[in-house]
């Protein structure tokens, strides 16, 4: 399944995506596309035991610049996934999460 967690949303400060349940999935991959804005953002994958309380899955930051589409796989997650982002400037973001059983 593919979920579009942000659809061309503009951010100029740090943000996190809405919680998404992936209990049924064994694989996941983020696609983060900066479709507008001249800023950059760095993203970290977060996991949660309950969809309310979150921690980083790992220490790998993914930097996305203007116009870029960046993708990375996620493994070893629990039943929830989200991204947190630090934004420098203004970014317009499209975020897909692709998950498979």
Partner 1 sequence: MTTSDVRSALLAADPRLSKFSPLPRILAFDEFDSGTHGWCELLGNYNGRGDLSTVDDHMRDFRPPQLSACNFFDIGTHGALSGTYALKLATRPHKGHTAVAIRRLTMSGRGLVQLETYFAFKSEATLGGGSELDTFGDVQWDGNTHPSEAQFGAFTVATDLCGDGGLRYHTVARYQNTDMDNHFTRRWMAPTVPEPTPREHFEGKVKLEYAADFTAPNPEDWQQFGEPQELCYNEVPTKVNWHYLRWVVDTEKRRNVELQVNDRVMDMSDVPVPPYEERYETLENLLNFYFSVRTHSNVRNFLFLDSVLISVDW
Query: What is the contact surface with partner 1 in residues (CB under 8 A)?
Result: 1, 3-5, 7-8, 18-21, 23-24, 49-53, 79-80
Complex with partner 1: residue 19 or 66, whichever CB lies closer: 19
Instruction: Please name which of 38, 57, 35, 36 lies closest in space to residue 46, comparing C-alpha atoms.
Output: 57
CB 61 within 8 A of CB 44: yes
Task: Tell me how far, at minimum, the Cβ of 93 lies from partner 1, in Å.
Answer: 12
Task: Tell me how far, at minimum, the Cβ of 21 lies from partner 1, in Å.
Answer: 5
Complex with partner 1: residue 51 or 66, whichever CB lies closer: 51
- Gap between the Cα atoms of 71 and 79, Å rounded: 21
Complex with partner 1: residue 11 or 20, whichever CB lies closer: 20
> 6 is written with which tokens?
């942000």
């Amino acid at each position: 399944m593919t979920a579009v967690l942000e659809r061309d949303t503009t951010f100029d400060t740090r943000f996190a995506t809405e919680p998404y349940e992936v209990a049924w999935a064994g694989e996941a991959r983020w696609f983060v596309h900066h479709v507008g804005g001249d800023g950059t953002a760095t993203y970290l994958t977060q996991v949660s035991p309950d969809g309310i309380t979150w921690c980083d899955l790992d220490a790998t930051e993914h930097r996305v610049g203007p116009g870029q589409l960046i993708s990375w796989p996620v493994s070893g997650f629990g039943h929830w996934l989200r991204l947190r982002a630090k934004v420098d400037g203004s970014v317009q973001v499209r975020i897909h999460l692709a998950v498979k059983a």
